[in-house]
A and B are shown apart, each in its own frame.
Chain A
Amino acid sequence: MIDDRDELIERVARSLSPLPPNNSRAKAQILAAVRARRARAPRPWTVVLDWMRQPAFSVASAGLLAAAALAIGFVTRGALATLNEPQAPLASSAGATPANPNVTAIPAANTPAVVRAVPVPITFDSPGAKSVAIVGDFNDWDGTAAPLTRFGTNGPWTATVKVMPGRHLYAFMVDGKLVVDPRAPHARDLDYGTDASVLMVNTP
Chain B
Amino acid sequence: MKQNIFSARVTACAAVALLAALSGAGAQQGVQSERRITAISDDATRSVVIEQLSLAKESGLPAGAMEPLMAKAMEGVAKKASSKSIRSAMDALQKRLRKANDLLAPSPTAEELSAGADALYVGVPEKTLKQMRQAAPRRSIAVELGVLTELVARSVPAAKASKMVLDLMAHGATGAQLTAMNTAVQSDVAAGLTPEAALDRHGRGIMSLLPPPPAVTGANHR
| Touch A–B, Cβ below 8 Å | yes
Chain A: residues with CB nearer than 8 A to chain B? 49, 52-56, 76-78, 93-95, 104, 106-111, 113, 115, 135, 137-138, 140-143, 164-167, 169, 173, 178, 185, 187, 189-192, 194, 198, 200-203
B138 within 8 A of A: yes
**Set A141, A167, A192: member contacting B146, Cβ < 8 A:** A167
A137 touches B68 (CB 8 A): yes
Residues of A within 8 A of B70 (CB): 140
Stretch from B6-14, B102-110, B157-165, B196-204 that touches the partner: B102-110
Residues of B within 8 A of A94 (CB): 106
Residues of A within 8 A of B79 (CB): 141, 178, 192, 194
**Set A106, A190, A192, A200: member contacting B179, Cβ < 8 A:** A200
Q: Which residue of A lies closest to B182 (CB)?
A: A200
B150 touches A55 (CB 8 A): no
Q: How far is the CA of A164 from the CA of B93 in the complex (A)?
A: 20
Q: How far is the CA of A108 from the CA of B139 in the complex (A)?
A: 10
Given A106-B107, A142-B36, A166-B145; 12 other pairs, CB 8 A cutoff: A52-B24, A52-B25, A55-B24, A56-B107, A110-B107, A110-B140, A115-B111, A137-B71, A141-B78, A166-B115, A167-B145, A203-B140
Q: Which residue of B lies closest to A168 (CB)?
A: B146
Please report whether the interface of chain B is mostly helix, strand, loop or mixed according to DSSP: helix
B153 within 8 A of A: yes
Q: Which residue of B lies closest to A76 (CB)?
A: B26
**Number of residue pairs A-B, CB distance < 8 angstroms:** 141
A140 touches B71 (CB 8 A): yes
**Set B108, B147, B149: member contacting A109, Cβ < 8 A:** B108
Q: Which residue of B lies closest to A143 (CB)?
A: B78
Residues of A within 8 A of B74 (CB): 140-142
Chain B: residues with CB nearer than 8 A to chain A? 21, 23-26, 28, 36, 62-64, 68, 70-72, 74-79, 81, 85, 88-89, 92-93, 105-112, 114-115, 118, 121, 137-140, 142-143, 145-147, 149-150, 153-154, 175-176, 179, 182-183, 186
A53 touches B115 (CB 8 A): no
Most A CB within 10 A of own CB, among B25, B72, B109: B109
Residues of B within 8 A of A106 (CB): 62-63, 107
**Set B89, B106, B110: member contacting A55, Cβ < 8 A:** B110
Given A56-B107, A167-B115, residue A203 in contact with residue B138 (CB < 8 A): no
Residues of A within 8 A of B85 (CB): 191-192
Residues of A within 8 A of B24 (CB): 52, 55, 77-78, 104
Q: How far is the CA of A119 from the CA of B112 in the complex (A)?
A: 19
Q: Which residue of B lies closest to A75 (CB)?
A: B26
Q: How far is the CA of A62 from the CA of B143 in the complex (A)?
A: 25
A165 touches B175 (CB 8 A): yes
B138 touches A93 (CB 8 A): yes
B63 touches A55 (CB 8 A): yes
- Smallest CB separation, A118 vs chain B (Å): 11
**Set A77, A137, A192: member contacting B89, Cβ < 8 A:** A192
B175 touches A202 (CB 8 A): yes
A166 touches B143 (CB 8 A): yes
